[in-house]
Amino acid sequence: MTPIFIAIGLSTLVLFRRDLFTICQFIGLLINELTNIVLKRFLKHPRPTQLSAQTRSYGMPSDHSQFMGFFCACFICFLFIRLDKKSFSHGFRYILCGGCILSTLLTCYSRIYLFYHTVQQVFVGLALGIIFGLAWFLIVQVFLTPMFPQMCNSFIGRILMLQDFTLIPNVLVFEYNNSRNWPRHGTHCNSH
């Protein structure tokens, strides 16, 4: 269930925040999922014998494990590379990191425990997810982030109201201060 909650959370962030980094991470998750589908059809590795009679889908690599590996790798990189050092204390970052790793490991274990996948299928899925997640984070951080200002200022970027929070040290404080300073006496968003 964790991948479903993460996908819903990310899609909600994309719809309401329109932050390019979040959009890129969501696109990365979709590419990761498509890669998993292609690999399963190419490898045609059966699921464990307890489940193979009940389902026609293939088991290698584990989709849940690959998803969580990708998300965990990107999330940890975000916490320690992209997020401004003043936003959260190191202790809080480590707590978030530990929670993400624990959630990933529990998801992987559940796939084996429930006989949806073999240990090998889960391990391969997790390893692929981590590798894809690290590679995708690097692509976004090094190659795409420098183009975020142009994307936001493009015709399509303005129509979609895309945003780039890269240079804002703490988005929570920024949004809080802006909403508190917004004039409250009859000014509406559409009046500009």
Q: State residue 109's pLDDT score.
A: 92
Q: State residue 138's pLDDT score.
A: 96
Q: State residue 97's pLDDT score.
A: 93
In the predicted model, residues of the chain with pLDDT beneath 70 are 50-55, 184-192
- DSSP 3-state assignment of 163? strand
Q: How many CB atoms lie within 10 A of CB 74?
A: 25
pLDDT tens profile 165-180: 888 877 878 888 888 8
Q: How many CB atoms lie within 10 A of CB 187?
A: 10
CA distance linking residue 34 with residue 87, whole number of Å: 34
Residues in the chain: 192
**Domain extent at residue 154:** 2-191
Count up the domains in the chain and report the number: 1
CB-facing half-sphere around the CA of 83: CA atoms within 13 A: 19
72 closest CA partner among 139, 3, 12, 141: 3
pLDDT tens profile 93-116: 899 999 999 999 999 998 888 887
Residues 6+ apart with CB under 8 A from 178: none
